[in-house]
Amino acid sequence: MADQTPVSATAAGTIDIGGDLTVNRLGYGAMRITGDGIWGEPADRDEAKAVLRKAVELGVNFIDTADSYGPHVSEILIAEALYPYPEDLVIATKGGLERTGPGQWPVNGRPEHLKEVCEGSLRRLKLEQIPLYQLHRPDPAVPYEDSVGALVELKEQGKIRHIGLSNVTEEQLRKAQRLTPIVSIQNRYNLGDRVSESLIDLCEQESMVFLPWAPLQDLDHSQTVREVAERHHATPRQIVLAWLLARSPSILPIPGTGSVAHLETNIASAGITLSPDEVQALSKATA
């Protein structure tokens, strides 16, 4: 990985979202360009915008955010840094969580709330239509069909192109699918947390995209990760991202960072090819 030419996200190959949006299969999660506790402004706005611009420069054309990141800060910075957007850039955002303080994420899946925050995202991102809008989390106080139904209405109005789900079970996915096509699932998934394993297989079978969040949690605790990293002269972070890319063609990793240096390191994982034995060993590893 000592090559002086930065690796591009194009090295990861491509994936189709909803059958009509083709993006490079290593994206960027824009949660970390906010302040501590994903609250307020970042310590350095210029650095945050530099990260976004560098991501695009390095071939990233899928950026994932949410109205609750900041709140609003992440979406505002994306527009400030990148608008007018490159023609191939796909911006995904989410609604369904409120913010009452640093690290606090009350759920709000009421249809009127979802419609309101979607309108806000459209304004902040300076978009006429959001390419992928995701329901951030099921609200136990609201029938799931009501929350998804609000997104269906927004789609019918042309305000969103495709609907995705986040933090869901297969049962919730099936409820949503009875109302509308679902093109993506964004759940927690990493070497140490495989609860969503069966959903990844479903995504493969049904041509959906799986967006793993928290992909790098606790990776330094795995001896296997360290050994494979040494073999490839890579970092543990890079090996875990390379494993996600190898785990399933439906996985679209979206590692996030507020640092240009970390961004370059993450994207360089697209250039790592793991052997089948290494993929198997990592898959058996526990973080």
Q: Enumerate the active-site residues.
A: 69
Contacts of 172 (CB under 8 A, 6+ apart): 138, 144, 165
- Hey, what amino acid is at 49? K
Q: Across the beta sheet with 130-135, what order do the strands follow?
A: 28-29, 62-64, 90-95, 130-135, 160-166, 184-188, 209-213
Quote the CA–CA distance of 113 and 130 in Å, as a whole number: 17
Determine the 3-state secondary structure of 31 from DSSP: coil
Q: Residue 22: beta bridge partners?
A: 16
Quote the CA–CA distance of 146 and 108 in Å, as a whole number: 12
User: Looking up tokens 């190898």, which residue turns up?
Assistant: 246
Q: Are strands 21-24 and 14-17 parallel, antiparallel or unpaired?
A: antiparallel
Dihedral sign for Cα 237, 49, 30, 251, please: negative
Task: Give the up-direction half-sphere exposure of residue 273: CA atoms within 13 A in the CB hemisphere.
Answer: 2
Dihedral sign for Cα 180, 181, 183, 188, please: positive
